[in-house]
Amino acid sequence: MEEKKGGTSAGGVVLPFLLGFVAALAFGWWGVPQLLYSKKVQPLVFTHQNHIELYGMMCDDCHSFRRDGSFAGLPDNAKCAECHSFPMGDHPDEIKFVEEYYEKGIEVPWLVYQYQPDNVFFSHAAHREYDCATAGCHPDVGSSNELPAYYENRLTKYSRDTMKMKDCERCHATVAAQEPERFAGAPNACQICHK
């Protein structure tokens, strides 16, 4: 009987396999996201908490619907300057807002976690009945003291938090089915979003 050379035991096969398996898992779950996303910080420090708790502002003081039902989204410089046309306090970002953006007429290039691609038609007005913060449509930053980091996909240039089509579809399928009368017209037909 011929003798086999080297690595004849079962452990000799299993161990490299396991090593490879674990390395791939680590690479896939931890390494790739590190490579795929670049971390960006917002141009200015902004605290929702202060605005709400100290100054008693409401969400729709800044993130309001216009008369035509469209969503104003982020406030523009003019809106901020209703209070911040002069620095309130000596925080460097406060001064930066006034001097670098407001006075020069440059809108603050806020990083938006949730912008949808151009090929999607999304109306906030149609979704105002539904609480999207708790449903996971966007991060609930309303009570936070700082804005979360913004992760940009290096390949697609989209935010990591941009909702995927399957999230939209899931909600349209379940919510619309649960309360067909309240959410009439929210089927998953392509032209509902891609028009």
Partner 1 sequence: MALNRRSFLTFAAGGVAGTLFTPVIWKSIDDTAIWTQNWPWIPRLEYGPRAYAATTCKLCPAGCGLNIRTAGGRPVAAEGRTDHPLSQGGICPLGAAAVQLLYAPARIKGPMQKQADGTHQPISWDQAEALLKEKLAEQNGKKDAVVCVSGDENGTINELFSALLGGLGSDGCFLMPGEQIVASKILREGSIGYDLENADFVLVFGADLLDGWGTAVRNKKAYGAAHPMGEEASAEYVYVGPTQNVTGGAADQWVSIAPGMEGVLALGVAYHLLQGGMTAPQAHDFFAYRNFVINRYTPEYVERLTGVAPEQVAELARKLRSANKPLIIPGSTIAQGGGVFNFAAALSLNMLFDNVNSAGGIQVLPDLPTVVSGAKEPAQVRAKDLVAYVQGVAEGKVSKPAVCLVYEANPLFALPLPDVTAQAFDGTYLVSFSTFYDETAAQADLLLPTPTFIERFDDVQTPYGSGFASYSLTRPAIRQPIFDTKPTGDVLLAVAKALGIDLGFASFDKVLEAKVAVLSELEGFFTDKVQPWEARAGKAPAAASGNLWRTISRGAVWASITEPFPTAMQLGSTIISQTAPPDAEDWTFPVSLAAMDSRTYGSRHIAIPPFCLPLLGEQEIQGDVFYVWMNSATARSYGLQAEDRVTLTGPNGSCLAKVRIFEGVGRNMVAAPLGFGHTAWDKFSRNKGDNIYKVLTVRTEPGSNLAVWADSRVRIAKA
Can you read off the two tokens belonging to residue 123?
A: 């109306």
Quote the least distance from Cβ 141 to partner 1, whole Å.
21
Among 2, 3, 6, 195, binds partner 1 (CB under 8 A): 6
Per-residue contact string for residues 101-120; x = within reach of partner 1 by CB under 8 A: ----------------xxx-
3-state DSSP call for residue 81? helix
3-state DSSP call for residue 22? helix
Quote the least distance from Cβ 156 to partner 1, whole Å.
4
Number of residues that bind partner 1 (CB under 8 A): 32
For residues 96 and 85, give the distance between their C-alpha atoms in angstroms, rounded to a whole number: 11
Among 20, 92, 142, 187, binds partner 1 (CB under 8 A): 20
If binding is defined by CB under 8 A, does position 36 make contact with partner 1? yes
* Stretch in the footprint of partner 1 (CB under 8 A) among 21-29, 89-97, 125-133, 137-145: 21-29
DSSP labels for 125-193? Answer: HHHTTS-HHHHTSS---TT-SSPPPEEEETTT--BTTSPPHHHHHHHHHHHHHHSTTTTTT----HHHH
If binding is defined by CB under 8 A, does position 125 make contact with partner 1? no
For residues 97 and 195, give the distance between their C-alpha atoms in angstroms, rounded to a whole number: 37
- In degrees rounded to 5, what are phi and psi of residue 152? -105, 130
If binding is defined by CB under 8 A, does position 27 make contact with partner 1? yes
Quote the least distance from Cβ 73 to partner 1, whole Å.
9
The residue (of 17 and 55) whose beta carbon lies closer to partner 1 is 17
Beta pairing, strands 150-153 & 37-40? antiparallel
Quote the least distance from Cβ 158 to partner 1, whole Å.
7
Residues in contact with partner 1 by CB under 8 A are 6-7, 11-13, 15-25, 27-29, 32, 36, 66, 70, 76, 117-119, 153, 155-158
